Each structure stands twice: as C-alpha cells, then as structure tokens.
Structure 1
C-alpha cells in the first residue's frame, strides 16, 4: 500500500534525481565547451595539479582529444594517484617512509576545481587545473588533502564566526647563473637587478598576468641575484595558495628560459639574507565585507583583531613545524636576519617575526605579517595552520600580550620574565607541533601521523648524513 507520505517522498527523491541529472548534464556541457576551445587553440594536454604534504607538485596529464571522445565528458573522469604519494614519500625521493600508517594499496581520486583552470604561457600546448584529493570509495575529501583542509578552515570561519580572511604572500628567490654564481650582485631595493634582469621580469610579469596572478610589487632583495615578487592580497585564501604554486612554477620556467635557475631554498649562503615567504593576513566581516582587524577610524587593534594576533602567538612555536619544516629553514632565522627571533609582536618592526602593519594612507593597523614562513612548506597547510590559529584566538577571546616594544621599555625599569623561546631547530618545532592539541585536531590523525614521521625522518637523515649547506644548494639547483 502506497501512502501519501510515501508518494511525497518518492516525488521528492525523483525531483532530486532530476536536479542531479540536470546538473551533471550542465557540467558535461561546460566541460565539452572548454575542451573544444582548448582543442581549437592547439592545446594538447590538460595537467591535473595536486600538492603533497611536503610541497611536491604531483601532476598527471590527460590528452584533450581523449577527454573529448569519452561517452560522458567530464574533467574528473578516472584520474587517481596512490595515497602514499601524498603522505608517505619525502620531498627528495620516491621511497616510502616507514611508520606513516600508509601503504601502496589505496588510491585517491583527483577532483578538479574548474575555477582554478589556467592556460600555461610557458608551455603553450598545455593547460592546467588544480585538484582536490578524494577518497575513492566515499567520494569525501581525503584527510591528506591540504587544499580541502584550507577550504574547510575558510568555510568554518565564515559560517561559525562570520569572519573572512584576506591574505597576501611575498615570494623570495635567487637567480643563479651557475652552481657557484648568481645573476648579479645587487643589494636591497637596488636598480641593478631591475636593469640587468628587465627582460626576465617583463616576461615573468606578462606570463603571471596571463594566468590571472596579480602582482603588487617587485624589487631586489638583500642577497646576490635575489628578488621578491609580492602577490596581491586576495579574499580567497585557496585561490591565493593556488597562485603561489603556479607563480613558483612560472618563475622556475622563466628562469630557465633566461639561462638561470630560480632557487627558493630558505638559506643558500650563511653570509647572506635567506629566502622567506612572508604571509600577510587580515580579517573582515564576511557578511558586510567591513575590515575588523583594527579599531574603527583609528590606530590600534579591535578586540577581535587583538585576539586573532594572540591566537597566532599562542600557537606560533607549533606553527613553525608547518611553516619552517626543514633543517635549512632554521638557518635563515636569527637576530639581524630580517626574520625575527622572539615570540612576540611589534608594530611596524621589520625585525619582528610577527609584525602588525599600518596602512600608509589611513594609519589604521590593517594587517599582520608572519615572517616565520619559507617556500619549503606546503602553502595550503601553512595557511590553514596560521588562519585557524588566529581564529582560535578569536573564539577563545584571548587578550593580546604587550608588544615587544612595550616589553623592552618595561625591562628598562624592572626585572621581567623573558618571553618563552621559539624552537631553535626543526626537531624542536615538530615536537612542539605534536603537543599542540588545536593543530593536531585540525590536521586529523592520518595527516598528522604521516607529516610528523616524514618530516622527522628527513631532518634526522640530514643531520646524521652531515648534509652541508653546499649539498642543499646543489640539490636545489639541479631540481629547479
């Protein structure tokens, strides 16, 4: 006997199936149009980009012609990678690390994000699309997918706290003309690099622009052949992280075109400033778009802004296990290295690792910069850790500690307890990360186990093998 309720449920299910069918038909039509456009313009291959826990780009290619002849045209049709490739292989070798809890039996499907699609001007027969890693059986995001993790942090901020993020990143790198020499001998903000490398910079700018990657500033940095490319602020942290990956790929490709190698290694010469990847962050009301980091109409941080900064500081020693994950990372940090070396914050102090910055026009304290970040990290994981930590401060309504400037003034007149030290090496940072309940919960047991095991294994191998800075530079040069 069919009741009215059963009839209603059957009708509802049928309606949902019809909606799903229309959606799939529409997606297939979009995919067909895109692929035909690519085929007409001479593009042969569609690259599927993903990034593993240790900042390796994992890429597979589908021929455009093959995608077009499939019976159900879809950009996410049967493309997968072994799960262990995302959590069980170190940066430098395709060798499974024991103890990660992963093996070679499972595969992850790559779910492409159409909004990330780009043509590649440095490889004109190819286009690319960024992908998320999905469980092959459930269709749910894999716990090893850092891009999905960052998306989740952004969505949680919006729906739970009505907060959105604005993020910018500074990319620092060196142009090397050989294993022992650099493109030039410029110094900070000098015109030597700009003059001598103008063709490279113009070409790089044009190619980034063609990929919809917006550049805010370019200047020479302190070291020989060293340049900084500042990516414009984005209110979409995932899109910004995609741009970081694609910009690094483009920089390497353009460097080779001009007979250089682009080196992002954190420290390449103990007598020179290293390569950082400083992250700038602000928060805004996700409903109105109004900035909420600073007080209305004046200098100073708002209550939420102060709690956000304190959240960063509370978790910073552990965050460094995500943002500075190699032995080389810690060679870059120290007093006088433009990186900061204390756990604390300061206003507009470029020697502070956590720097609150003011707007030149309005004088409002409108964003915070974290300098304890370099290009050896997975940018999705690093941003997820940073933004989630700041959000934790907002949720807990933590009170911001005095600035380092205030602390220094107090030290002049009284005996104060010195600030808790930051980790001095990567092993200390990873051990601190392991003890941070908030970040461990954020990462999930699967991700955290694999990450800690592999990062510790890499660090121990580097130390026990006596890997020198010269060895690291040589490896980075040949891999670039």
Structure 2
C-alpha cells in the first residue's frame, strides 16, 4: 500500500498484521478499539474502522498530549508539555488483537503512546512497564504476574432523594455461600466465556464477602501481558454487565459500609525456568525487602485513587501495615503457600486495586523489588500475627492519597524511574483528584469511582 502524503509510518511490517486483517474480515469486525491507560487509571482510547485498519496499524491514531493530564473527573490539569499544543499517536500492539465477545462487531488492541516520529513518548505508561521489564532482564530475570480482582455486581439506579445514582448490589448472600453462585450464575458463566475467548485463562471463581461482590481470577503471565490482561479484564467485567442490563464496578470501595474491592498482585521472579521465590530463598527475601522499603511510595501507584484509602484499613484483610509474613492476610506482602506439588511459590501484594494504572503499578513494583535484590535488603523478621493487635509496633501504610503522594515524591528511586514528564503529570493528576473529592461529600466520591472504575 502506498502511504498517503503526510502519513507517518510507525510500525514496521508485522507478521500479525495479515492475520488481523483476515480475522477482522471473516468475523465481521467493524471497529477496532486502540486502548491505553491514563494517569488517572482510566482506560481510554480511539477506534479505527476496518476499512482504515491496515493503515492505522502502521500510523496509529492521532491524539492530543493533553489527555495524559486529565483526571478521573475529566478535569484537565496544567502540566508542561501537555497543553493544547502537541501530538502523540495511539499505536496498537498487533500481538494483543482480540475480538470483544461482549461487543459484537468490535475488537481491541492494547496500545503505546508514541511521538509522531515513532519514538517512545516519555509519558506512556505501557512503555514504563516495558522499560522495567528490560531493566529486570538486564539482571537475567523475568516476572510472572497476575492481578486478582474483586468487583461488585448489581444495578445502577437513580437516587430517590435526587442525589447521585446508587449502586444496588445483585444480592446479599454470605461470603463464599453456595447461594451466591446461583444468584450470579448467568453473568459469571458469560464472563468466564468472554475472558477465555480473549485468551485470559480463568483459574477460579467465588462469591466474595460483600453484597454482590465477585472474584474471578486468571492465570499468571509475563509482566507486560499481565498488565494488558488486567485492562481487558476490567473492560470485560463491565462490558458483560452492561450487555446484561447490569452494572459492575471494580472501584476499591463503591459502598462505604461494605467490603472493598482489591486487585491483589501475585508475582514470582524467575531466572530461565527456575523460580527464585522458592522457600528459604535469599533472593525472595531481598525482593520483599525492596517492596517494604518502597511500600509507602508504591501505594501511590498501586492504590491510585482517593477511594483506595477507604479500603486500606486495619483488620479489613486489605493490609494497613508495611509488614510481610507467610499466609498472613493482614500483611502487605504475603508469602503464599504453593498449591500442591506442582504449585509455584509466589508473593501477594495486598495494597493493590483496580483504580491503579496496571502498567505503572506493576512497573513500580518491579523497580522496588529489583532494588531490594541489587542492594540485598533485609526485610526483617516475618510477622505471624495481625499487626494491629500490637499498637505502635509496626509501620503503618499511608492512610490517604495525599500521604502516599508525599511518600512517592520523597522516593528517589521511583521518581527517577518515572522520569520528569511522567511523574509531574501523575502527581498533578492525583493531587487534583484529592483536592476535588475533599471539597465534596462522600456520596460524590463513591459515585464517581463507581462510575469510572
């Protein structure tokens, strides 16, 4: 194909391109969504028509730089180099092409944000994770990871008193109760099929603690794929609900008096085919030491919203203290027991939820853990009790987004890893969200997080 005058060629010919074009034709795909995650944690994007797909796979779709300075209320923040002047391209990764089973006629690809000349843009979050993976590989390591998301299923209804819409949960069944399987059965079967169709292998499902709360976990994958999977997971959970006249939210705390929704991050560190988190491993302990050393700052990226800190409280099984321990579900870092002889040891980071940008979240975790390995940081003694039962003994995690952002600004390693443009934009966006919700009542906060995530 001859490029039209002025077109910018971004990608080199890719073996996946012909397959994508043929599949789009055969499956009647009309619109292909090019998706990315912004600094607010929102999945955004644009869509190419099938008739222009071949060209857009090469050029990407034009996009204003300002969108990476937008918060979750669609309020644009003043960030240098992210104003009305400037252009990036939403450039899809052909290897991520998936038809969307809950949206007939549509497909999606996860995308990078690049400059018009094709070079990486310093504010692209997917590139941040790619760079972290490359840094890890320089030491001969790679990560397998999976987010473990919870979400609340119900219906979005007008408030009789005239306030913001309310989320009315699907049921009021008990935690893990067998009746909970039945009330959500039709939805969960459709969700499982939709995830599997997109290549996200479902591991297990159960009704969770809060009214309408669900958990469906997927198998681990290499780091970039794991973050891509989480974007697709979030979109699928909500998309399947909407197609069935329901509403699903992965917001950390959509109902103030009920259980929160986490997205605990499970990960293991590998060298070739050897899991470095085996029991008694010094490397595992050093990695934990890095996580704990940077954990106050990490929470600004792994728990990326005002609403997140309603969930992170003592005795909520969500972690409120910067401690670790074997199978301690009140510890920020849990050493998980392998399942059976074939199970692989892994760590679970509990202060993590779906309001975070998964590329920034996982990338920052990699940088923190790698710092621990390189400096051989001692994590101290594991904690085998609920840390809240010994007041004042263990370090408390930040209790607000502002506290977490203060810790992030003071963390030289993570600030350096983020780089000048990305960190200035992220801090501006998140500070603005903190200020905006502080000026409103809790109902306003709960509604907007339920609506967005």
Structure 1 residues 479, 418: CA separation in 2 closer, same or farther (over 3 Å shift)? closer
**Residue of structure 2 aligned with 1:455, choices 415, 430, 434:** 430
CA distance in 2, matches of 1:313, 1:105: 41
1:96-111 equivalence runs, <5 A = 96-99=76-79, 101-111=81-91
SS at match of 1:283: strand
Q: Is the alpha carbon distance of 1:80 and 1:347 closer, same or farther for their aligned partners in structure 2, counting shifts above 3 Å?
A: same
1:83 matched residue in structure 2: 65
Structure 1: any 5+ residue segments left out of the alignment? 1-20, 295-299
Q: Match of 1:474? A: 447
State whether structure 2 residue 150 is matched by structure 1 residue 163: no
Q: Match of 2:346, SS?
A: strand
Q: 1-side partners of 2:243 and 2:435: how far apart? A: 36
Residue 353 (structure 1) shift: 1.9
- Correspondent of 1:62 among 30, 33, 48: 48
Structure 1 residues 479, 359: CA separation in 2 closer, same or farther (over 3 Å shift)?
Answer: closer
Q: Partners in 1 of 2:212 and 2:444 — Cα distance?
A: 20
Partner residue, 2:375: 396
Deviating beyond 6 angstroms after TM superposition, the runs of 4 or more aligned structure 1 residues are: none
In structure 1, the residue corresponding to 2:313 is in which secondary structure?
A: coil
- Determine whether 1:268 maps to 2:247: no
Q: Which shifted more, 205-214 or 105-114?
A: 105-114
Aligned twin of 1:211? 198
Q: 1:125 to 1:424 in 2, by over 3 A?
A: same
- TM-score, scaled relative to structure 1: 0.85
Is 1:293 equivalent to 2:249 in the alignment? no
1:2-56 CA-partner distances (Å, limit 9, x unpaired): xxxxxxxxxxxxxxxxxxx9x95x53x7534531331233111222111112122
Displacement of 1:327 = 1.9
In the alignment, which residue of structure 2 is the partner of 1:427?
402
C-alpha deviation, 1:475, in angstroms: 2.8
Cα deviation, residue 203, structure 1:
0.8
Contact map agreement 1:301 1:365 (CA 8 A) in 2: no
C-alpha root-mean-square deviation of aligned residues, in Å? 2.4
Q: 1:76 to 1:387 in 2, by over 3 A?
A: same
CA contact (8 A) 1:101 1:449 kept: no
Name the CA distance, whole Å, in 2 between partners of 1:323 and 1:267.
Answer: 15
Which one has more relative contact order, counting CA pairs under 8 Å at least 6 apart?
2
Cα distance change on mapping 1:441 and 1:129 into 2, 3 Å = same
CA gap 1:241/1:61 in 2 versus in 1, 3 angstroms: same
Q: CA deviation at 1:74?
A: 5.9
Q: 1:369 aligns with which of 348, 355, 375?
A: 348
Question: Could you list the per-position Cα deviations for residues 214-264 of structure 1 after superposition, in whole angstroms to 9, with x for gaps in the alignment?
Answer: 111111111000001112111x11111111111111111111222221011
For the pair 1:46 / 2:32, whether they are aligned, the reply is: yes
Deviation by residue 1:336-386 (Cα, 9 ceiling, x = unmatched): 211122111111111222111111324988111111011111011000011
From 415, 418, 424, the equivalent of 1:440 is 415
Given the superposition, is the C-alpha separation of residues 338 and 429 from structure 1 closer, same or farther in structure 2, using an over 3 Å criterion?
A: same
- Picking from 104, 109, 122, the partner of 1:129 is 109
Distance 1:472 1:461, change over 3 A: closer
Q: Specify which of 297, 302, 324 is matched with residue 318 of structure 1.
A: 297
Distance in structure 1 (CA, Å) of the matches to 2:193 and 2:359: 25
Alpha-carbon distance change, 421 to 133 in structure 1, aligned in 2, over 3 angstroms: same
Q: 1:102 to 1:255 in 2, by over 3 A?
A: same
CA shift for structure 1 position 478: 4.6
Using a 3 Å threshold, how does the CA distance of structure 1 residues 264 and 364 change in structure 2: closer, same or farther? closer
| Whole-angstrom distance in 2 between the partners of 1:148 and 1:476 | 26
Per the alignment, residue 336 of structure 1 pairs with 315
Contact 2:149–2:217 under 8 Å retained in 1: yes
Gaps of 5+ in 2: 1-8, 158-165
Q: CA deviation at 1:157?
A: 0.9
TM-score (normalised: structure 2):
0.90
Residue equivalent to 2:3: none
Matched length: 434
8 Å CA contact 1:150, 1:384 repeated in 2: yes
Structure (1 or 2) with the larger CA radius of gyration: 1
* Cα offsets for 1:276-314 (capped at 9, x unmatched): 1100111111x3x111112xxxxx331111100110000
Instruction: Provide the C-alpha distance between the structure 1 equivalents of 2:281 and 2:106, rounded to a whole number of angstroms.
Output: 47
Taking a change above 3 Å as real, the CA distance of residues 418 and 225 of structure 1, as seen in their structure-2 partners, is: same
Conserved in 2, the CA contact under 8 Å of 1:82 and 1:108?
Answer: yes
The separation in 2 between residues aligned to 1:172 and 1:78, in whole angstroms, is 33
Distance 1:33 1:330, change over 3 A: closer
Give the equivalent residue in structure 2 for 1:200.
Answer: 187
Which string of whole-angstrom CA distances, capped at 9 and with x for unpartnered residues, describes residues 194-214 of structure 1? 111111111111111111111
